[in-house]
Structure 1
Amino acid sequence: MFDSPLTPAIVPDLSAAIMSAPAWCRVGITAPTEDMRQRSARELALAIVESLNPPPADADQQIPFAL
């Protein structure tokens, strides 16, 4: 699942990923309705995965530079 092992060293990365997730989903995991908690948890998990495994840069979108 992850390229690197899950060790205590990854805790700062996880913390940063959680804090960079949308505020609504961080608050939403405490919502009174199960549906909202599930949607919030899914969005939070997605934000964490995207933060820890950013998509590769698209070569077509990179701007070449001249030396």
Structure 2
Amino acid sequence: MSRLAPQPAPADLSSAILSAPGWARVGITMPDARMRERAADALAQSILEQVFEQDRTAHADQLRLPL
């Protein structure tokens, strides 16, 4: 039986978005399609690194409690 990874909490995602590079957060609003795509890629990568990097350090059955 395979275990599904725990879903990140909305607060975790919000924190990851706000701590992403500023140029990527601003870049997704640019009129240039190429810039928006690069910014969206950078924003997604930053979110994945921040949210799922935390999960690698804890066991799947362990509760994540704020420090």
TM over 0.5: yes
> What 5-or-longer segments of structure 1 have no aligned partner?
58-67
Give percent identity, aligned residues only.
Answer: 43
Q: How does 1:44-55 map to 2 (within 5 A)?
A: 44-54=43-53
Q: Distance in 2 between matches of 1:21 and 1:34?
A: 20
Structure with greater Cα Rg: 1
1:62 maps to none
1:4 corresponding residue in structure 2: 6
5+ residue gaps, structure 2, are: 58-67
What's the RMSD between the two structures over aligned residues? 2.0
SS of the aligned residue for 2:53 comes to coil
The normalised TM-score by structure 1 is 0.70
Runs of 4+ in 1 over 6 A off after TM superposition: none
Q: Which whole-Å deviations, capped at 9, do the CAs of 1:16-53 have from their partners, x for residues lacking one?
A: 00001000000000011000000000000000000011
1-structure distance, mates of 2:15, 2:7: 17
Aligned to 1:27: 26
